[in-house]
Structure 1
Amino acid sequence: MVIAVTPTLHLFCQAIADNPPRWHFVLQDLEGSNVLDVTDAESGVDGERLELLALVRGLEAIWCPARLIVVSPSRYVRHGLQFGLNDWRRQDWRWERFGELVPIKNADLWQRVDAALRFHELEVARHQMSTLTGPTVSSLRVARVAPARGSDDRSPARMRPAGESRRVGDLSEVDMATTASP
């Protein structure tokens, strides 16, 4: 009998304001070993799109369905995953701005993130990454992201605490005793 095990990985992603601008992601197992560490330059792309591109590249690099803890210093990425994605999907990739539905920024990349959620279970955490020393995980604020349409869990979008936690505002604070090597 073969039992399929869903791996749990940390996906650290960030944009690097350099010349040319770069995106960077690191996939780590729970022991803190780097599985994949990728950086690439994208000329003509910067800011929020570059931050989101780091996430997309990381999600698309994962070879099998996985439970992911996405760690990003980007408020744009974290809030999009936690609060926007489900509404945007329901509203055909638009959001309400001053009473009018307008297209969201970077809809093509958000749709790629949404497609990845059909395969992966995502949680979101905020943590600063240093481009010099690499990612570390000590104490992260973690929140789960509702799955995309077409996945097994069709529950409505809502924030759910991850693991043993105590409530802190809208997110759950979870102690994760994992440290990455540089």
Structure 2
Amino acid sequence: MFLSPCCLIKDNAHVEQSTPTVTIYSDGGAQPNPGAGGWAAILIYGDVQKEISGGEADTTNNRMELTAAVRALEALNRPCRVVFYTDSQYLKNGITTWIKNWKKNGWRTANRKPVLNQDLWEALDAQTAKHNITWKWTRGHAGDVYNERCDVLATEARERHRRAGN
């Protein structure tokens, strides 16, 4: 039925736009922090949705937020316009503001300390270069249906990895 958010198969006809617009919601978390963590994303293209999720036995909230964003963008099979919703100020501010200076300063913060999660920031930076992305912050646990669904998926993934890690 649905292989990638940038192509839609409906009634056995393949429909493509020259530059598709995809909406993405993502979430991630760890409990405790650090501890078992989960991430999730929902990719929406027209009337089709794709849910992806995963986790790790030992991680942090921020690593899971970043992983969700990276995995969601990796799921796109061609350059897209993306409207990306996150409830993580860390993710939104990092990718829209802080990363420019981090790269200019050799992956050092304003305090000259190494940037945490540099591996994931570099992966996210590489993925964002492929797309035209508008980043939007949404308040977590405030009733946004897709944000709430991502939270459920991330929690389920976290619990699967907690059980697998014990």
Asked if Structure 1 and Structure 2 have the same fold, meaning a TM-score greater than 0.5 normalized by the shorter chain, the answer is yes
d(CA) in 2 for partners of 1:58, 1:102: 29
Give the conservation status (yes or no) of the 8 Å contact 1:129–1:135.
no
The yes-or-no answer on 1:102 pairing with 2:129 is no
Out of 114, 124, 130, the residue aligned to residue 135 of structure 2 is 124
Scaled by the length of structure 2, the TM-score of the pair is 0.68
More helix as a share of residues: 2
Gaps of 5+ in 1: 137-182
The superposition leaves residues 90-120 of structure 1 with CA deviations (integer Å, 9 ceiling, x where unpaired) of: 22211221xxx22101011000111112211
The match for 1:22 is 38
Q: Say if 2:74 is the partner of 1:60.
A: yes
RMSD over equivalenced CA pairs, Å:
2.4
CA drift at 1:20: 3.8
Q: Deviations over 1:30-78 (max 9, x none)?
A: x4531x2111121101211111111111111111111111100011001
2:28–2:37 CA contact under 8 A, matched in 1: yes
How big is the shift at 1:133?
Answer: 8.1
Match of 2:125 in 1: 114
Equivalent position of 2:52 in the other structure: 38
Which of 86, 93, 103 is the aligned partner of 1:89?
Answer: 103
Change (3 A) 1:61 1:106: same
Aligned residue for 1:62, secondary structure, equals coil
| Contact map agreement 2:29 2:61 (CA 8 A) in 1 | no
1:122 deviates by 1.2
Contact 2:30 2:64 in 1 (8 A): no
Greater relative CO (CA pairs within 8 A, separation 6+): 2
* Number of residue pairs the alignment of both structures matches: 128
- The structure-2 alpha-carbon separation of the partners of 1:69 and 1:133, relative to structure 1 and needing over 3 Å to count, comes to closer
Q: Is the Cα contact below 8 Å between 2:30 and 2:59 reproduced in 1?
A: no
**Structure 1-normalised TM-score?**
0.63
Which shows bigger deviation, 87-96 or 52-61? Answer: 87-96
Q: Secondary structure at the match of 2:146?
A: coil
Mapped to 2, the partners of 1:17 and 1:103 lie a distance apart of 22
Is the 2:29–2:62 contact (alpha carbons within 8 Å) kept by the matching residues of 1? no
Q: Which runs of 5+ in 2 are unaligned?
A: 1-15, 148-166
CA pair 133-78 structure 1, distance change in 2 beyond 3 A: closer
Q: Identity of paired residues, percent?
A: 25
